[in-house]
Chains A and B, each alone.
Chain A
């Protein structure tokens, strides 16, 4: 069965802290993604990765960075957390066939609150 896991379901951090959100998939997928979801704004892509050590900016990369040292793991880093980064963070993965990204599978989400 397809599985994407995220390190925490709920997280509370203080302004200015460095925050790590971890995502692991067990499907040997090439592609991994980080989204944030906010009421009224929907899901927005932060960063994605097509391969190990490879990353590309999504629609809202400001204030975030990512790391992909192993194929199965994709980390989202908030260098200095701010209150406007309070959100639901969703990780996803997908395989890639003939250069096209196929079905995306999502993790359970991390609800991050920055105080």
Chain B
């Protein structure tokens, strides 16, 4: 059974930093692309960042314009863990952050339960 478990969310001041983690199990972690998708309170879904799996472009990273230069995605295939390093956080980054496994193409076939990040003074 595929499982994704996020952690690391919390309250942070504007301009601060936070690192989210996503522990995965139930699939060959290194083989699959993964993403972070966020949802602001009462709002819709926004893709944030992605990282490719093993293969020709293994480890290639992608970012939404809204977070480019501030967020960094990485993975540790030896620990089956995905990370999102978030710097220079803004109030508009407040959201539940989900990690998601990427299916063929770029759909999201499995999701974690999410971790809440609140940026406020």
Partners in one complex: no
Q: CB within 8 Å of A: which residues of B?
A: none
Q: CB within 8 Å of B: which residues of A?
A: none
